[in-house]
Amino acid sequence: GFGGVVVLKELVKKLKIDPKKTTVAVMGFGNVGYYFADLASKEGFNIVAVSDSKGGIIKKSSDKFLSLDIPLVYECKNEKGSLAGCYCAGGVCDTRGGQMITNEELLELPVDILIPAALEDVINEKNMKNIKAKIIVEMANGPVSPIAYHYLTRKGVIIVPDILANSGGVAASFIEWEQNIENKTYNKTDVLERLEKMMIKAFENIWSESKKNNSDLKEASY
């Protein structure tokens, strides 16, 4: 989740997008989706919809999405066992003004950025024409099917592939392995700073490759 947020931050810099003017929907609220949503919200992104295996939640005022209070949503989910009824925004959780949606509906919301962080192939031939997000960050493994990937890419949707987006976990495992080899205990802050530098370097390499060869980010990453 940390690595994915680093990559998203670098991407919006390249695109000259202000995080505070974005809306983000996150499918999945486990070890990846929750931490992505929490860290992204702290970086100024507006997390307006989240979901778990039983469905998702949004909160709207007129036609405008409201940002969810992710730590409160997390507390509510732990208390209830699922996200059902956890309409948390503006520092409070209540059951008024919120709306339950299915995972399928979450994927098709008119948001700027979509984060599939649960299952593979959730964006496929059946729903690809209904996807409205302009940016997709693959935090799950293979959440966009090959056919959907090519269709959306041709439409101009920027898809950050899983091989880059969720590689923070593997990179952190390497750092942990190195720590064990040296029989040391690394400081958490130092580890995250090092991981951030690794993710930024990987993003820069792939972004440059995509521009040099006029290719999408997945092809560039390979």
pLDDT beyond 70 at 216 = yes
Alpha carbon distance 177, 174 (integer Å) = 5
**Mean local confidence (pLDDT), 99-116:** 95
* Nearby residues of 176 by Cβ (< 8 Å), 6 or more positions away: none
Q: How many helices (H) and strands (E) does the chain have?
A: 9, 10
Alpha carbon distance 117, 126 (integer Å) = 19
Alpha carbon distance 212, 42 (integer Å) = 33
- Among 219, 45, 93, CA closest to 84: 93
* Whole-structure pTM value: 0.94
pLDDT > 90 in the chain, percent = 83
Tens of pLDDT along 58-105? Answer: 987 777 898 998 998 998 888 888 887 677 666 666 655 578 899 999
- The alpha-carbon radius of gyration of the chain (Å, integer) is 17
